[in-house]
Structure formats: C-alpha cells, structure tokens
C-alpha cells in the first residue's frame, strides 16, 4: 500500500517536474504563505507577553505541531477533496476498475509535491519552539506521537469529508469548513476559546488531541479547563475512534456511488 502510494505520487511529481521553474516557485510560495500565518502569532506577541497564559514559544510549539500534522495531510491526503469533481463527471469509475483501493488512487491523483513548502515551514517553527523551550526526551517523546496522532485525525476528517461527497455530490465547501477550519482552530491554545467549544472538540470531534492535550503534557502544564492528567495520553485512542467511522463512511460512500449516464 505504501509502495503503491509513493509510486503513484512519484509519477505525478515527475510529470510536474517537467516544468522545474514553476515547481520551485510553487514550493517557495507555499513556504511564504505559511510563514505569513506564523507572522500573525508573532504580531500578537509583539503586543502581549502571554496568550491565555501561554508564552510565545509555547504557542509556537502548539502551532508548529498542529501545522506539521496538517501540512503533512494537506500534502498526502487532501487530494481526496477532488472526489466531488470525479463523482460529478463520472471519472470516478476509472478508480474503481483498478486492483488498488480508490482511497490510495485518489489521494495521489495529481499529487502536488509543492505543498512540502508548508511542511518545511511548520517543521522549522516546531523545531525552533522545542529548542527555545529546552524540551528534553523525558517529555519530548510525546512530540512525534502528537504529530502522528494529528496526521491520523486530519486524514480521518478528510476521509469523512470525501465520503460525504457521495451523498452531497457538490459541496466541497461544506466539507472544507471541517478540514481547513480544524486547522485554523488548532493553531492556538484551546484556552483562548469558550468552554463549550472546547468540550465539543474534545468529546465530539477530537481536535483537542491533535496538539492541545498532548501539548499540555510536553509543556508540563495543567489543563486550564481542569481535565484529568490521563487525558494527555488518549490522543492515539481518540484518533482511532475517529478513523474507524471515517473508513466505514468511505466504504459506504463507494457502495452508494451512482456513476453517470452512458
């Protein structure tokens, strides 16, 4: 499965690399666009020393971890949102006649390697925050777990969104609200949001496990909302709890695919 993924992705990358100038420019643009995002965080901290009790470096750690998870998904999974175009035009048929899952084929469809610019930016921010806060292995081991958890959660969200397209057919914007919206939400410490919203993203849509709960552990802090310590370690479980219905929804979506005339 992994081999097939990279084979398909590589084929598209090679096709794109036929225009090296534009390729490099797109990577650079992705990097700059993402850097502007982090500038917002820096501007906030030019006016204050703490955001909901979190220092600049602490916010950057949360921002970088969520950003890395999200940009990895944006690079490797987000092509799923093309499914609505494929359903509308009936070209989804051709994904279903191959001996490889439609999910893999779709995620690599016109794979766009230029998104690595964003991955790079998020990795740099995260690396800087780790160094600036002097985080060691005793708590830092959670960081790779946190990023992997985030990748699974975002990938599951994208899959759910794509599965919804089989029913809605033409509403990629509705589902983008979930995927890109979730990224926006996780860029800041959840302590800045209202208690009910935080409850929602903890127990309903488990976005709190992308970076907030494990991030609190890495930072050695208590949850301002008072959740027990054990919650910091529930990320992987929460990710699986979301991934399972996402996979089922995707399967059901394909079974309800209607194709087009002719």
Partner 1 sequence: MIELDRAGRSFKVKREVVHAVRDLSLTVAAGEFVGCLGPNGAGKSTTIKMLCGILTPTSGTVRVAGLDPSRRRTALARRLGVVFGQRTTLWWDLPLVDSFELIRHLYKVDRATFRSRLGELTETLDLGAFLRTPVRQLSLGQRMRGDLAAALLHAPDVLVLDEPTIGLDVVSKAGIRDFLRRVNAERGTTVLLTTHDLGDIERLCRRVVLIGHGSLAFDGTLEELMATAPGQSSIEEVVTRLYTAGAQ
- Could you list the residues that contact partner 1 (CB under 8 A)? 4, 7-8, 11, 15, 90-91, 93-94, 96-101, 110, 255-259, 261-262
Shortest approach of partner 1 to residue 247 CB, angstroms? Answer: 15
Check if the beta carbon of residue 166 is closer than 8 Å to that of residue 254. yes
CB of residue 4 to partner 1, shortest distance in Å: 7
Q: Of the two residues 88 and 98, which places its CB atom closer to partner 1 in the complex?
A: 98
Rounded to the nearest whole angstrom, what is the least distance from the CB of residue 93 to partner 1 in the complex? Answer: 5
Beta carbon nearer to partner 1, 139 or 251: 251
Q: Which is nearer to partner 1, 7 or 50 (CB)?
A: 7
Q: Are 133 and 61 in contact (CB under 8 A)?
A: yes
Task: Give least dist CB 75 to partner 1, A.
Answer: 19
Alpha-carbon distance values, 125 to 25, 46, 119 (Å) = 21, 17, 10
Nearer to partner 1, 11 or 184 (CB): 11
Give long-range contacts, CB 8 A cutoff, 24+ apart: 28-32: 28/117, 29/114, 29/117, 30/114, 30/115, 30/116, 30/117, 30/118, 30/121, 31/117, 31/118, 31/120, 31/121, 32/117
Q: Identify the three-state secondary structure at position 107.
A: helix
């Amino acid at each position: 499965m992994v081999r097939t993924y990279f084979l398909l992705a590589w084929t598209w990358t090679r096709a794109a690399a036929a225009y090296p100038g534009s390729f490099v420019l797109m990577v650079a643009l992705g990097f700059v666009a993402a850097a502007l995002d982090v500038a917002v965080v820096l501007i906030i901290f030019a006016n204050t020393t703490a955001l909901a009790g979190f220092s600049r470096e602490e916010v950057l750690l949360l921002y970088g971890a969520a950003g890395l998870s999200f940009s990895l998904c944006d690079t490797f999974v987000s092509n799923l949102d093309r499914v609505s175009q494929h359903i509308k035009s009936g070209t989804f048929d051709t994904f279903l006649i191959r001996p490889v899952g439609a999910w893999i084929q779709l995620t690599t469809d016109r794979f766009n390697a230029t998104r690595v610019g964003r991955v790079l930016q998020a990795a740099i921010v995260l690396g800087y925050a780790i160094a600036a806060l002097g985080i060691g292995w005793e708590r830092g081991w959670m960081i790779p777990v946190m990023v992997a958890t985030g990748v699974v959660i975002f990938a599951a969200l994208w899959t759910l969104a794509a599965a919804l397209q089989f029913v809605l057919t033409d509403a990629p914007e509705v589902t983008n609200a979930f995927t890109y919206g979730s990224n926006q939400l996780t860029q800041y410490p959840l302590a800045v949001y209202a208690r009910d919203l935080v409850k929602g993203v903890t127990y309903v849509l488990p976005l709190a496990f992308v970076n907030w709960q494990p991030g609190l552990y890495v930072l050695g802090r208590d949850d301002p909302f008072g959740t027990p310590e054990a919650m910091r370690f529930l990320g992987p479980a929460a990710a699986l709890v979301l991934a399972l219905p996402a996979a089922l929804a995707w399967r059901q979506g394909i079974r309800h695919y209607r194709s087009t005339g002719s």
